[in-house]
Structures are given as structure tokens and as C-alpha cells.
Structure 1
Amino acid sequence: MKDMKKKSVAILVALLMVFLAACGSSQNSGKNASNTPQPAPVNTDANGNQNAADDDELLPEEGAKLVVWESKEEKPFIEAIGKKFEELYGVPVTVEEVPGGDQGGRLATDGPAGLAADILTMPHDHIGPAATAGLILPNDYFEEETRATMVESAIIASTYNGILYGYPKSVETYALFYNKELISEPPATWEEVIEFAKSYNDPANNKFAIMFENGNFYFGYPFVASYGGYVFGNDGSDGSDLGVNTEGAVKGFEVFQSLKEILPLNTGDITWDVKTQLFTDGKLAMNIDGPWAVSTFRDQVDFGIAPLPAMEDGVPSISFSGVKSYYVNSYSKYPNAARLFAYFASSLENQLINYEMTGIIPAHKEAGEDERIKNDPIVSGFFEQFTYSHPMPSIPEMQNVWEPMAAAMTTIWNDGADVRQTLDTTANTIKQRISSSN
């Protein structure tokens, strides 16, 4: 699960590749003249169709071979399409298993040393530090096609400082798992959850109506955003504008605090392992979790997926969403081949294959119209919540938010602390951390 992993518009930067090629060093093959597209006699598109070549068709470098970092869950998919890519382009692909949450850190050290993979598959909230450090190349050659074919939120999330870096492959957010044997229809609001809990809860026997990781800000974001609060302004891109203690955030966390009435456990007692076991055992009626948990429950619980319970007055609960994309290592010896692979792997056809193999929610616009997706109640349930989500900010300042907000949630929940005072103090802590890190 634990890759944690969230709308604005991006500015087209179609000529950036040329700039990088002109300014790069010959010692950094990811930024030298080899980035410039070369003419090709035949154009093979991402679905393997051959057409008349364009003059600026991108070709793999001679002798190119690629390494891709991918998580354990999606490694079989990458290995399968890697073989297909080699058949089409003559470029062998090796897949190394690296968790998505670890890839950004490893790229920072292994990239300049020439030890990192050519293509990474890290979550979008890691691109800020990577882009700032010059560790990833812009998605420039295929930018127009990517913008035209991927859902807007995926484009936003794969963009940093107006530059598109990612080749989106999947989107994800958390939603409401409900045990159909315990509750026939999922509650539409938190008020309905509370009413259900009054007759269902039995803490002495570990029976609870609902659980979520209430000490984890990833899952606490709905209580900030649903009433108009925010983390950073300008759709998450302005690190100088912090909104975790606005009136909307205060109102939301007052709702959060009131829920201890139906979940009388401290934050440290509600872990992913604990609630997963209770849901599997049929003692937990509703569980807020993400698509990464589907495989755990699929053969053990008769469950459905629904949007998160709405706040008071039917206000939708706005979750954090994440977007996973392919990124090209700027230190790659084969940047052309790497670009081609990232584009190929993120094609409509291959996203649907990935869905069939691993259950991902595709980022491609047309995938949402595919009958396999439309008729999948699990994927469609997550996708409905995705429409009520915000991409997690990808700016470096976000790294200063997680720990203080988790501490605030713990204090508000466990100790019944004053919400406004706690959030004001937390906001000051975050600002100080941002200032000291600049």
C-alpha cells in the first residue's frame, strides 16, 4: 500500500528539448545533442502500427538498452511490454524492482553516478525535488500527444513549474470499502455513518462501523479541503501560501474531531494492518483505503467501493489523489530510447493491458470509455471519488507538511485539543521548516 501517494493547468514548453541540447555537457548524455530527434524511414507508433515516417521521427540510439525501475506489483506488466518494445524497436529492456516511494531518493544519488534506471515510475509528488535538481527530462517530444490523450488531473500532477515531465500511466485515490454482508448500501454522508455506528459498534469485541488512518495526513486531507481549506495556494504550486489553518480547515477538523465518538481508539491503535485484519475478519463494516488494498480483500470479503461519505450539508469529501507516471532519467545514456519507451508504455493499449494485469486505474482519457473499465464496479467506484480529488502538491515544500500535520491530527483526536489553536501552531511550524530548508 504504502506508496502514498491527487487540479490546475500547465504551460506548454515545446522548445525546451532544444534548449537543453544546446546547453548540455557532452559528459551528460541525457542533456547533449543526442536528445535531438533523428529522421527515421518508418514510424512505429506506441501500438505497434507502422506508418510513413515523419522527418523528425524519434529513433533509439544505436546499441541502446534500457533499465526500468518498477514496483513489485507492476513488474510483470513492465516485463511483458518490455519484450514487446524490444520486438518493435530492437532495444532490450531490463526491469529492476524498486518501490515507487524509494525511486526519487535513489535517483538523487544513483542518477549522477550513472547507476540509476533510464526510466522511473515514481509517484507525482516526488517530481518537484527531482525536477529542481535536474534529474529528470521534460516530456517534450511527445508533449502534444500526451496532453491531448491523458486526463487533465494527470497532466497537472505530472507537471512542475509549468513544464510537463511525466508520461502518465495511472491515477489513484482512496475511497470507501464496504462489506456488503454487513451494510447493504454505503452511507452517503458522515451523519449516516454515525447513525449506523450507534447500532453496530461494539468496541469490546473489536466491532467498528468505520476506520481510516486518522493519524496520517494523506487520509486527513478531506477535513482540510472539503470546506475550502488547502495545503498550498494556486492549486498546490505556491509554497508561500499555506492554507492548513484557514476557516475551512478549522471547520473540517472540528468534524474530524467529532468522529472519535464512533471510533474510540487513539491514532496509534489504528494502523493499516489493524483495520485490514478487522475488515478481512468481518468485524469492520467500512474501511477507507486505496486500490492497492483490492487484491488483499478480493477473495476474502464481499465488498463494494463507493465515494467517501460527504460532509455536512452534502459537501463532497475531497481526497488526495496521486498520479503515477513514467519519467526519463536526465543522466540516461539513451534518452531517445527512454522517451520512446515511456510513451509506448503509457499508450491506451498498454494502459488497458496494465489494468487487466494489475488492476490500475488508467490515466488515458479513452480508457474511461472502455467497456472493461465502465463495467468494473471497483475501478468505477474509485474513479468516481477521483472526480472529487486534488493532486497532492509536488513542490519541494510539501515535504515539510506531512509530519507536522500528522502530529496535529494526533493531538486533535487523542487529546481533544482546541482545533484552531492546534492548526495555527502547526501552520507556524510548517512555515518555519520551509524557511529553514530554503
Structure 2
Amino acid sequence: MKVQNTLTNGTSRRVFTAGAISVVAALALSACGGAAATAPATATAKPDLKASGASTITMWVDAERAPALKDITAKFQTDTGIAVKLVVKDFAAVRDDFITQVPTGKGPDLIVGPHDWVGKFVQNGVIAPVELGDKKSEFQDSSIKAMTYNGSVYGVPYAIENIALLRNTDLVAQSAKTLDEVVANGKKAVADGKAKFPFLVGMDPKQGDPYHLYPLQASMGSQVFGKAADGGYDPKQLLIGDASGVEFAKKLAAWGDKGEKII
């Protein structure tokens, strides 16, 4: 994401308890959109980025993603002569630290974070839109929409995260066709003494986990928000309390600690 620099005239570029079944997040990394990393067919002059006076760029990144960026930042230095300093930050605190430090000039030049930070960053005036130009077509539409706020793109998407349903084939040999069958297979694995839990979902004991539960919610026809004319979500259309949402809530209660204790 690109920092809104309020201190100078220039701008800087910021950017699984064994269980039969588990729901986890699978991170698919790509070098800035895969095809976007392909060199052009014709040779072009390298931009003289040092001409602006910059020799080092500071990037805030969490511990899980820092290793994936080492080769990329090394190549960037080779191509431009500008070093990239990777500063590993606590993921739980980095967003708020960014908001407080950017206005003072002590923030980084780039930041790596999920798209759902964009709105708060824009509201606090710490990032500015980026222009992807003809490179925009080389990214998946969903990733561009995720980085778009009020019609402007505020970050360069480099990865897409998906929810995956995993089956332990040593415990459940055959795949299921329905969720009820998935749960039944998990229960059997527990009854046979092969697993401790029939179905695992990342879960906070007090807050739950809407993110990992959303595939189950959506499979029952329940959504959180309706869609606007442009295809994006409309926060004014709150749908989670409709009939499908109520049925999903009942299912969670039936699966929870006061029910079958499946989740």
C-alpha cells in the first residue's frame, strides 16, 4: 500500500489435536500476480529511482511472510540499486502502529497486510491510491476489487488466501458428498478412538471465527451483506439476520458445546 506522505512533497510506496476433518486457511503466494513478474519482450531502460534521492526503502512485514520477500527484495536491489530493509513486526499490532507512526514520519515506506485494512487506513489518511496502469489486467479481478475502496485502488495484491477443507485419509478413506456425511465420518473416527474431534475449525472460545465458518454459512445461503450495483458489498444491506442466517445460527448451536460438541 502506498503511504500518504504528509511531511514532504514526495510520495513513498508503502504497501492445525488430531481430527478427522479440519478447516484451515491455505495461502497461495505469487510473485506480485505471477504473470506480472514476467519480463517484457523488448528491453527497456531501467528507471533511475535513485534520482529521487532514495537509497533504502523500509518495509514492515510479519514473521510468516518475511522469508517469502527476501529473494524479491534482493532482486529489486539488483535492478534498481535501492536496498529494501525488511522490519518484522507483530501482526496483531502492526496495523495500529502504522496508523500512529505514519503521520509522524516514523512509519515505513511499505507495509504488507490484508485487504481489510484498507478502509481504516484510508479513513485515517495514511495511504494514497496507486496506479497499476496496464499491469492491472494481469491480476485477478477479485484481488483488485479487494484492494479497492470508494473506486480507488490502494494496494498491489501479491497473494490470495482461500479456505480449504482437509480430510485425514488415514482416518477417513472416502470423501464425502455432503456436510452431514462429513460430520458422520468424523463422529465415527472419534467413536473408533482414531481422532479426538470429528471436525476442526479455527475458533476463539469467546468470539468464534466468522472467517473460517463462512464457507459453512454461505453453503446454507446465508450472507453478511448484499451486493451493490458495481458488484461490491453494500454495508447498508445487512442480510445475516435473514431466514438463512437464522438457520445457520441454529446449526451452530446444535454443533456447539451445548449440543453435539462437534465444533
**Fold match, TM over 0.5?**
yes
Asked if 1:233 is matched to 2:240, the reply is: no
The 2-side partners of 1:228 and 1:143 are apart by 37
Asked if 1:176 is matched to 2:165, the reply is: yes
* TM-aligned CA distance change 1:28 to 1:62, over 3 Å: closer
1:1-150 matches, within 5 Å, as 27=8, 29-30=10-11, 51-53=43-45, 59-60=49-50, 61-140=52-131, 142-145=132-135, 147-150=136-139
The 2-side partners of 1:106 and 1:200 are apart by 45
What do residues 339-363 of structure 1 show as CA deviations (whole Å, max 9, x unaligned)? xxxxxxxxxxxxxxxxxxxxxxxxx
SS of equivalent to 1:95 = strand
SS of equivalent to 2:103 = coil
Asked if 1:243 is matched to 2:234, the reply is: no
* TM-aligned CA distance change 1:58 to 1:165, over 3 Å: farther
| Larger proportion of helix | 1
- Structure 1: stretches of 5+ with no match in the other structure: 1-16, 32-44, 271-438
**What is the aligned counterpart of 1:154 among 118, 143, 148?**
143
- Paired residues of 2:118 and 2:147 also in contact (CA < 8 A): yes
**TM-score with structure 1 length normalisation?**
0.46
1:343-362 matches, within 5 Å, as none
Tell me the CA shift for residue 109 of structure 1.
0.6
The 2-side partners of 1:137 and 1:123 are apart by 16
SS of equivalent to 2:93 = helix
Q: Equivalent residue for 1:413? A: none
* TM-aligned CA distance change 1:138 to 1:193, over 3 Å: same
- Structure 2: stretches of 5+ with no match in the other structure: 13-35
Tell me the CA shift for residue 100 of structure 1.
4.1
The 1-side partners of 2:61 and 2:245 are apart by 36
* TM-aligned CA distance change 1:131 to 1:144, over 3 Å: farther
1:277-288 matches, within 5 Å, as none
SS of equivalent to 2:43 = strand
Q: Equivalent residue for 1:221? A: 214
Tell me the CA shift for residue 153 of structure 1.
1.3
Tell me the CA shift for residue 208 of structure 1.
2.5
Tell me the CA shift for residue 46 of structure 1.
5.2
- Paired residues of 1:223 and 1:249 also in contact (CA < 8 A): no
- Paired residues of 1:104 and 1:126 also in contact (CA < 8 A): yes
Q: Equivalent residue for 2:156? A: 167
1:251-400 matches, within 5 Å, as 251-260=247-256, 264-265=260-261
Tell me the CA shift for residue 169 of structure 1.
0.8
Identity of aligned residues (%): 26
- State the one-letter code of the partner of 2:223: Y
SS of equivalent to 2:11 = helix
- Paired residues of 1:48 and 1:88 also in contact (CA < 8 A): no
* TM-aligned CA distance change 1:121 to 1:198, over 3 Å: closer
Tell me the CA shift for residue 161 of structure 1.
1.2
- Paired residues of 1:225 and 1:249 also in contact (CA < 8 A): no
- Paired residues of 1:158 and 1:166 also in contact (CA < 8 A): yes
* TM-aligned CA distance change 1:74 to 1:25, over 3 Å: closer
- State the one-letter code of the partner of 1:182: L
SS of equivalent to 2:199 = strand
Asked if 1:211 is matched to 2:200, the reply is: yes
* TM-aligned CA distance change 1:217 to 1:63, over 3 Å: closer
- Paired residues of 1:213 and 1:219 also in contact (CA < 8 A): yes
Tell me the CA shift for residue 47 of structure 1.
5.1
The 1-side partners of 2:91 and 2:6 are apart by 29
Asked if 1:201 is matched to 2:190, the reply is: yes
SS of equivalent to 1:200 = helix
The 1-side partners of 2:211 and 2:145 are apart by 19
Tell me the CA shift for residue 206 of structure 1.
6.3
What do residues 343-387 of structure 1 show as CA deviations (whole Å, max 9, x unaligned)? xxxxxxxxxxxxxxxxxxxxxxxxxxxxxxxxxxxxxxxxxxxxx
* TM-aligned CA distance change 1:265 to 1:25, over 3 Å: closer
